């Protein structure tokens, strides 16, 4: 089945460690996105990528890094520079235009700092 | 980018019709309006999309006035399972050499009571 797969669903990180969240899609979508969601809050854009080997910062990129070496993969690294990383992280993908049901989300990953 | 404004929360009762309005005063000519539904610890999922006038599907209706500066999501006869957060999204259509950037507002938290 086509879709977006995020892993792991739950992740615990010690302070000072980097962690990487995986996002894979087999929808042949050009664009991919990472969002952060804090409890009871809306989605905030971290990074987005329109094509392979290119990505742009969103509204809250500090403390995060991404790569887009393959069209189907867009991993997010939460670095030790991110001071408050505990949150729910969502990956999404879309075609180049936004008409129709072309935006798909993964099931999300919970990151907790211990 | 067109910024959206929605009520923070709404309450309703089972069997009632719910209307959620979104303001987007700076909507661009080519922008479409899309609504998403999100349950806790899940990714948002597509509900409905429109450009002008009225769109209806098996889940909801979307009303867009002629000036397109607002839109109203209508959920007929809600049930307890409609309790969720609803997001209004105005698409940033691609331009030559530019990128898509999906921006979500804070959303409307709908609580349906027995």
Q: Give pLDDT tens digits for A83-114.
A: 899 999 999 998 766 565 567 899 999 999 88
Residues on chain A touching B106 (C-beta within 8 angstroms): 41-42
Please provide the average confidence, as pLDDT, over all residues in chain A. Answer: 90
User: With an 8 Å Cβ cutoff, are B44 and A50 in contact?
Assistant: no
Distance from CA of A45 to the nearest CA of B (A): 7
Residue A98, pLDDT score: 55
Strands A10-13 vs A109-113: parallel, antiparallel or unpaired: parallel
Q: CA separation (Å) from B48 to A90, B24, B58?
A: 20, 17, 10
Closest CA to A47 of A72, A78, A17, A15: A78
Q: What is the DSSP string of B57-97?
A: -SS-EEEE-TT-SEEEEEESS--GGG-EEEEEEE-----TT
* pLDDT the model gives residue B79: 97
Which residues from chain B sit within 8 angstroms of residue A96, using beta carbons? Answer: 94, 100
Secondary structure of chain A in HEC code, one letter for each residue: CCCEEEECCEEEECCCCCEEEEEEECCCCCEEEEEEECCCCCEEEEEEEEECCEEEECCCCCCEEECCCECCECCEEECCCCCCCCEEEEEEEECCCCCCCCEEECCCEEEEEC
User: What is the pLDDT, as a whole number, of residue A42?
Assistant: 84
- H or E segment to which residue B33 belongs: strand B33-38
- Is the confidence at residue B96, as pLDDT, over 60? no
pLDDT digits (tens, 9 = 90+) for B76-86: 999 999 999 99
> Do A35 and A44 contact (CB within 8 A), yes or no?
yes
Hey, are the CB atoms on A42 and B91 less than 8 Å from each other?
no
Indicate whether A73 pLDDT > 50: yes
What pLDDT sits at residue B95? 39
CB contact under 8 A, B99 and A50: yes
C-alpha span between A9 and A91 (Å, rounded):
12
Write out the residues of chain A at the interface with chain B, using a CB-CB cutoff of 8 A: 4, 31, 33, 35, 41-45, 48, 50, 56, 58, 88, 90, 92, 94, 96-101, 103, 105-108, 110
Residues of chain B contacting A101 with CB distance shorter than 8 Å: 46, 49
Q: pLDDT tier at A22 (50, 70, 90 boundaries)?
A: very high
Partners of residue A113 on adjacent β-strands? A13
How many angstroms away from the CA of A14 is the closest CA of chain B?
22
Strand partners, B42: none
Position A102 scores a pLDDT of 66
pLDDT at B98: 38
**Coil/strand/helix, residue B36:** strand
pLDDT tens by residue, B22-65: 998 988 887 888 899 999 889 999 899 888 999 999 999 999 99
Structure-token pair, residue B100: 């898509």
């Amino acid at each position: 089945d086509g879709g977006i797969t995020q892993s792991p669903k739950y992740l615990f990180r010690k302070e000072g460690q980097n962690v990487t969240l995986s996002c894979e899609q087999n929808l042949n979508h050009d664009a991919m996105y990472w969002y952060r969601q804090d409890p009871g809050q809306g989605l905030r854009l971290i990074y987005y990528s329109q094509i392979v080997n290119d990505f742009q910062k969103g509204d809250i990129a500090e403390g995060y890094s991404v790569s887009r070496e393959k069209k189907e993969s867009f991993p997010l690294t939460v670095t030790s520079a991110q001071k408050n990383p505990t949150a729910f992280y969502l990956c999404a993908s879309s075609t180049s235009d936004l008409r129709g049901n072309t935006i798909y989300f993964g099931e999300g990953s919970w990151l907790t700092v211990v | 980018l067109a910024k959206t404004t929605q009520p923070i929360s709404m309450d309703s009762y089972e069997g009632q019709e719910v209307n959620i309005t979104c303001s987007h005063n700076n909507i661009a000519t080519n922008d479409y309006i899309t609504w998403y539904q999100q349950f806790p610890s899940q990714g948002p999922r597509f509900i409905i999309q429109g450009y002008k006038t009225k769109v209806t599907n098996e889940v909801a209706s979307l009303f867009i006035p002629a000036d397109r500066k607002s839109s109203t999501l209508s959920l007929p006869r809600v049930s307890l399972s409609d309790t969720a957060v609803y997001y209004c999204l105005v698409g940033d259509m691609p331009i030559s050499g530019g990128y898509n950037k999906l921006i979500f507002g804070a959303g409307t938290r709908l609580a349906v009571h027995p």
